[in-house]
Structure 1
Amino acid sequence: MAVRIVSYNILVPIYAEQVDYYDKCDPKYLKTDYRWNLIQNQFEREITKYENTVVCIQELCLSLLPKLEIFFRRMNYSLFHNLYGGEWNDYMGVGIAIPLSMQLDDISFVKIGDYIRSVCKKWENRMDQNQDVSCENTEEVPDPWEAAMDRSNTLICMKVTINKRPLCIGTYHMPCMYKYPDIMAIHASIVKDLVFKYASGCNVILAGDFNFEPTTACYSELTKTGFPAGSFPKSKVYEVSYWPNTEQILKSAYREKNGSEPAYTNYSCTFDQPVYCETLDYIFFAGQMTVDDVLNLPDRPSGRAYPDETNPSDHLLIAASFRF
């Protein structure tokens, strides 16, 4: 039995159409209609070429939702989504689309910030100490757990059955807070552990834009047994009733198949930032599965920045086929 997992951060139009922001890109390639034609062509290629294709989407948004709904309906797919952003980013969110022929057994939406809040109880006698620390440098986050619980990012997980084999599939868009790695470490660990808990022992696939590079502690936290030991973020404000399960880890499909992660999955150059070309997107998995193949990705980007004539997002679509 095989399943194809596709993951794509499609870039919300409200960002893409800021010509003064993506100032190294040709404006005609930033137009929503132009980008949408390329996006749907990429999705359709994966759906028609492979059996049991599941599509995970990040930066799904309100303005693109009707187009996505119509497209997936035409492809005989169901789209499940959660828009958790605000007006400023067109209510950006995530989604998973599956074939109508695929048996859907259960689906779960978890706002990770709410879960973090549920495992935190405020210390009544430590507030003064935290306030002193936060005043030392206004650029510092006063407490990583407090900042982590303020994020509205949502994890979507679903259980499906393919040829009588259960499978748990999840997608997540990690908060882009690379300046504060403790916050990302909290989200990464909790997302991993919640997916394993939800899966209840069945095979697991977790795909998305994780906003961390393969050399970071967050990547090791998800993929290495025993990590992070004593380095996991602590709180001066909260008593936290959570500790990461360091024995349950994930593998990366691209690393398993190719021996390394892609050269890059994100390529951008904006007016106020240097060129950025790194791997941020992954298809993680665990269980009794093997990686049949992965979508070939370029070794180096073309042009000055994405989006461009052939790349409708500043991220690359990634995909992997698994066999049970």
Structure 2
Amino acid sequence: MPSALVTAFSLFFLCNLGCTPQAMTSSLRLRVVSYNLLSSHLATTTQYPTLNPEHLDAKNRLPLVLNKLEKEIQSNQNVILCLQEVSYDWAGSLHTFLANRGYHLVTGSYGKKFNGYMGVCLAWPQDSFVVEDVDISRIADKREGGWPVNEEPPLLQKVWSKLQTALDKPLRKLGLVSGEDIDHWDMSERRFNVLVSATLKEKASGQSFCIGTYHMPCAFYAPMVMTIHTDLAARHVQRLAESHGSIPYILAGDFNFKPSDPCYRLLTTGEIDSTDPYHPSPKGGVEWKPSSINMASAYAVSDHGEPDFTN
């Protein structure tokens, strides 16, 4: 099954469709631009104290972002945009900008007030593609087989746990006791990150394909969470492609990992070593296993090769 994986640690990158170029690019040509805009609510002097405050001002940044997108749109007839960290404040402006250039924009917002209710966006030129399907999904809702259920502890253990929590609380504030262990399964289930995807047919070739964009949870302190969501995002796009007759697919986004990281190896090999700290430990009798099949990095199969990172 032809497929493609596009990875980015943060900002701007390009790709050409296909992990098996000879199977696809002979008939289908397109350009994918994935860009983390940095939410208008997160570009603050507190976060970036060494930068010129005028360069962080949203009203100054937005025209520069639109100018970058304009250059990409003009560079090729079949340019698909995959955007991350799009705030409410910018979503309307992006829609207006793109609509006036013949683009259709789909958004999936899931953030909170502090980050401008940010989310991801997918946009494509209507003159070039027919829309066959659009999917907007909270990835945590798409785990096949559901999530592990918390085992009910004995009554005495519950009482002791509550007592211990109450006793430890003042000690934690003093830094004398470390915080509670992270339940990576529970944390993964509670994440609201949305994946936006579309099944499109190129008018010129009649070739259908699926493309999705995702912003991986920035949870470096909880690597098992990143593994679970990496697998969920890939599997969801693959399942959508299967539902349309096993058509080619692309996954693009800001994945918050580098080519040397375990999550990259999971996507490109379909495997992760069981002894790796990124491998999720079992819970409630449920053993984690990869559900997605391996994909190819569009960078790696390009003439330029895989960069160390993108930023």
Q: Same fold (TM over 0.5)?
A: yes
Tell me the equivalent position of 2:183: 143
Q: 1:5 to 1:140 in 2, by over 3 A?
A: farther
Q: 1:33 to 1:245 in 2, by over 3 A?
A: same
Report deviation, 1:158.
1.1
Tell me the equivalent position of 1:255: 300
Tell me the equivalent position of 2:280: 233
Tell me the equivalent position of 1:166: 208
Tell me the equivalent position of 2:91: 65
Decide whether the 8 Å contact of 1:9 with 1:59 is kept in 2.
Answer: yes
Point out the structure with the larger strand share: 1
2:83 aligned with 1:37:
no
Paired residue secondary structure (2:210) = strand
Paired residue secondary structure (2:236) = helix
Partner Cα separation in structure 1 for residue 281 and residue 137 of structure 2: 23
Tell me the equivalent position of 2:233: 191
Tell me the equivalent position of 1:107: 134
Report deviation, 1:209.
0.3
Structure 2, unmatched stretches of 5+, are 1-27
CA deviations on 1:139-188 (whole Å, 9 max, x unpaired) are 35432110111110001111001121111100000000011110100000
Tell me the equivalent position of 1:317: none
Decide whether the 8 Å contact of 1:119 with 1:240 is kept in 2.
Answer: no
Tell me the equivalent position of 2:310: 265
2:219 aligned with 1:177:
yes
Residue of 23, 34, 41 corresponding to 1:14 = 41
Tell me the equivalent position of 1:303: none
Decide whether the 8 Å contact of 2:281 with 2:287 is kept in 1.
Answer: no
Paired residue secondary structure (2:231) = helix
Decide whether the 8 Å contact of 1:116 with 1:148 is kept in 2.
Answer: no
Decide whether the 8 Å contact of 2:41 with 2:87 is kept in 1.
Answer: no
Structure 1, unmatched stretches of 5+, are 267-324
Decide whether the 8 Å contact of 2:258 with 2:308 is kept in 1.
Answer: no
Tell me the equivalent position of 2:197: 157
Tell me the equivalent position of 2:25: none
Paired residue secondary structure (1:35) = helix
CA deviations on 1:202-238 (whole Å, 9 max, x unpaired) are 11111000011211111111011443457631333x4
2:171 aligned with 1:124:
no
Decide whether the 8 Å contact of 2:35 with 2:84 is kept in 1.
Answer: yes
Greater radius of gyration (CA): 2
Partner Cα separation in structure 2 for residue 12 and residue 109 of structure 1: 20
One-letter code of the match for 1:196?
Q
One-letter code of the match for 1:81?
T
How many residue pairs match? The answer is 262
Partner Cα separation in structure 2 for residue 174 and residue 15 of structure 1: 17
One-letter code of the match for 1:234?
S
